[in-house]
Homo-oligomer: A and B are copies of this chain.
Amino acid sequence: MGEKIYRVNMTTLTVTTEAVPSEWAGLGGRALTSSIVAKEVPPTCAALGKYNKLVFAPGLLTSTAAANSGRLSAGFKSPLTGGIKESNAGGTAAQNLEKLGIKALIIEGMPADDKWYSLHVNNDGVTIKEDCEFLGKGNYEVITTLSERLGKKIGVLVTGPAGEFKMAAANISVKDPDGNIRSHGRGGGGAVMGAKKVKYITIDDSAGSPVTIADPEKFRTQARIFAKAMLDHPVTGQGLPTYGTDVLINILNEAGGLPTKNFRYGRVDHPEKICGETVHETITSRPNGVAAHGCHAGCIIKCSQIYVDAQGEYITSGFEYETIWGFGCACNISDLDDIAKNDWVMDDIGIDSIEGAVLMSVAMEAGIIPWGDGKATYRLFDQDVRKGTPLGRILGNGTGSVGKAYGLTRIPTVKNQAIPAYDPRSVKGIGITYATSPMGADHTAGYTIATNILKVGGFVDPLKKDGQVELSRNLSIATAAVDSCGLCIFVAFPALDIPECFTAIYEMINARYGISLTADDVVGLGKYVLKTEREFNLAAGMTNKDDRLPEFFEEEVPPHNSVWDFSGAEIDEFWNF
């Protein structure tokens, strides 16, 4: 099918084109990036050194007519966790790469000198250009300038000032269809890109081709079933399109699982100021606001939005629950516009918005800035992180960095990655996912909130230990498979409740490639991905002691006064598959 791997060597400044080895032919997205990293990166190497690699791979369904299939996976050894990392994002890059027949783009080595470069991918291959034009510039300026220069359809991947400083919380920004920003957020991919001295990558698919579909008729049928399921399901058909992911503020607050003031409380005092309903009302009441917006072509959920100020000026987009929770609850900030400005500045300097929000709550814990002060957090990002001041270095290296610098013990991380927006004491299933994910604390790795709180795919009582390990394990396996398809993780909601939706996923793959995967194969793929990732981490020096939550979760959290009460042996049961 003409698929190829481009290998860019930043030590020799050369590019090679490789056929896809048969062992990787059936893989895409996370399955492919994790396989390549596991095979080619020495697990104990320095994450910011020459032996690490940065791998981009579209998913198995990318650039097809399958709804919500436009996610791009980035894989590398994480400078944040020290383990393997896959971080996927929307935007236009995945589809552009796929149209050029690129199965994976591998960036390896690093320049011996201090020069910076850009990479330019088109149908003729990859060009490496010495390029310091955008050094120190924010991601918005880079993407806007490149879009003006190269056309709105150009794909762009860029590391911001944070990545240039090789900060462990640095993300990789992706241009979205409107020239705004999506992110490979977690795990410090931007730092790895910065270490390789690649400021940005353009992907020009103007001479590319539509993907070939082995059985177009079958594909169309299954894609329709798949799309209908998403529109029919209340979460993906109503909740997310209307209110965005921030619909979860009121739901989690009600459930008492909304971590507030650095995980001291399970409810926030001002849910009405930051909830999805208020975001929706704010956007729709202001000029130029867009309440429902997709992060990539073919998205039918449109949980994103364009958030504007009272005058209708753009503030941010991709304004997610996690970010709003982090500033609104973990940091206790009640001004939604302030939170939106923090979202913008993190996108502009290239900081993972979950890590960025949680590290600010720890900065408040340390007394660096007052609780609830959203202007102070903005100032720290814009004046310190962006400029790489000493305080900016502490912050930009993540939540663990801030906690350690200030001698704290209340540091909400697993494997040094910040714990997201669900208290593991009040929603115990997600605690198992935080503990066990090879990615570090990660809600998307096995989103038990679906079943613990939203009652999707059944119900497992969030306050009891029973069934949580199995729930987390099953969802983690399924997620690893979904992440390999290039699909948005939200397709899991209908897939969990509507049997033909789940079937449609692998039938679309079958139709695309002319193969005959079964449901068991999908599960097998998920297991393979998780085990491959875990083996990398073990070889890097991690143990089951890294699959643990921080000590302070032994404290009771109101309103349920629940504690984290899983033993190590109970957590370790996760890996029995």
Contacts and interface: CB of A to CB of B under 8 A. Distances in A.
Interface of A: 44-46, 48-49, 51, 79, 165-168, 191, 194-195, 389-391, 393-394, 397, 401, 404-409, 539-543, 545-546, 548, 550-552
A390 B394 contact: yes
29 contacts: A44-B545, A44-B548, A45-B551, A46-B409, A46-B550, A46-B551, A46-B552, A48-B407, A48-B409, A49-B409, A51-B551, A79-B407, A166-B406, A167-B407, A168-B404, A191-B407, A194-B407, A195-B407, A389-B390, A390-B391, A390-B394, A394-B394, A394-B405, A401-B404, A539-B545, A541-B543, A541-B545, A541-B546, A543-B543
A166 B79 CA distance: 24
A195 B550 CA distance: 17
A397 B404 contact: yes
A130 to B, nearest CB: 21
A194 B406 CA distance: 12
A127 to B, nearest CB: 27
The 5 closest A-B pairs by CB, nearest first: A166-B407, A541-B545, A390-B391, A393-B405, A390-B390
Given A394-B394, A543-B543, 6 more contacts: A46-B550, A165-B407, A191-B407, A390-B391, A390-B394, A393-B394
A339 to B, nearest CB: 24
Residue from the set A49, A166, A390, A397 with the largest chain B CB neighbour count within 10 Å = A390
A576 to B, nearest CB: 20
Residue from the set A165, A541, A550 with the largest chain B CB neighbour count within 10 Å = A541
Contacts of A79: 407
A186 to B, nearest CB: 18
A401 B390 CA distance: 12
A186 B371 CA distance: 35
A51 B409 CA distance: 11
A405 B397 contact: yes
Nearest to A52: B409
A110 to B, nearest CB: 9
Contacts of A552: 46
Contacts of A404: 168, 397, 401
Contacts of A407: 48, 79, 165-167, 191, 194-195
Residue from the set A393, A401, A539 with the largest chain B CB neighbour count within 10 Å = A393
Nearest to A408: B48
Contacts of A49: 409, 551
A82 to B, nearest CB: 10
A492 to B, nearest CB: 32
A191 B195 CA distance: 32
B409 A393 contact: no
A44 B547 CA distance: 11
Contacts of A550: 46
Nearest to A47: B409
Nearest to A407: B166
Contacts of A543: 541-543
A49 B390 CA distance: 26
A342 B194 CA distance: 35
A50 to B, nearest CB: 8
A238 to B, nearest CB: 44
Contacts of A48: 407-409
A167 B405 CA distance: 7
A409 B407 CA distance: 24
Nearest to A404: B397
Nearest to A384: B390
A545 B551 contact: no
A406 B166 CA distance: 7
A156 B61 CA distance: 69
A439 to B, nearest CB: 18
Contacts of A401: 404-405
